[in-house]
Amino acid sequence: ETGVTQSPTHLIKTRGQQVTLRCSSQSGHNTVSWYQQALGQGPQFIFQYYREEENGRGNFPPRFSGLQFPNYSSELNVNALELDDSALYLCASSIPYYNEQFFGPGTRLTVL
């Protein structure tokens, strides 16, 4: 069974640029959630995708957008990057009604 993977591991961008982060869900999991974790804080929910549709969204602006593909992998896109977007971005996969989420190792984004 393959776990959740994320790419890239680290990324450095400048303010105003756009970034795409990728996540492959655990085998058999059709739900993917994305989180932003600032240094010293807990993860904050960005959104969730279930069967290629957005299935819940946290308090993040529209410049944070996502996609889920037929194989249940997912992308997080962030436009017009701001310095405060610097964080660890985590994705987690799960199966509906089973609340345990399986997290990937994260992508560390630095915005300069």
Partner 1 sequence: SQQGEEDPQALSIQEGENATMNCSYKTSINNLQWYRQNSGRGLVHLILIRSNEREKHSGRLRVTLDTSKKSSSLLITASRAADTASYFCATDSNNNDMRFGAGTRLTVKP
Centre a 10 Å sphere on the Cβ of residue 38 and count the other Cβ atoms it contains.
13
Residues from 3 through 22 that contact partner 1 (CB under 8 A): 4
Residues from 32 through 91 that contact partner 1 (CB under 8 A): 33, 35, 37, 39-45, 48, 55-59, 88, 90
Query: How far is residue 93's CA from residue 4's CA, in Å, rounded to a whole number?
Result: 7
| Residue 16: CB minimum distance to partner 1, A | 26
Q: What does the radius of gyration of the chain's CA atoms come to, in whole angstroms?
A: 13
Which whole-number Å values give the CA distances from 92 to 2, 3, 80, 112, in the listed order?
A: 13, 10, 24, 27
- If binding is defined by CB under 8 A, does position 26 make contact with partner 1? no
Q: Looking at residue 81, what DSSP letter applies?
A: -
Query: How far is residue 32's CA from residue 70's CA, in Å, rounded to a whole number?
Result: 12
Residue 59 or 71 with smaller CB distance to partner 1: 59
| Residue 23: CB minimum distance to partner 1, A | 11
Contact range with partner 1 by CB under 8 A, out of 13-21, 31-39, 65-73, 74-82 = 31-39
Q: Which residues make up the interface to partner 1 (CB under 8 A)?
A: 4, 33, 35, 37, 39-45, 48, 55-59, 88, 90, 92, 99-106, 108
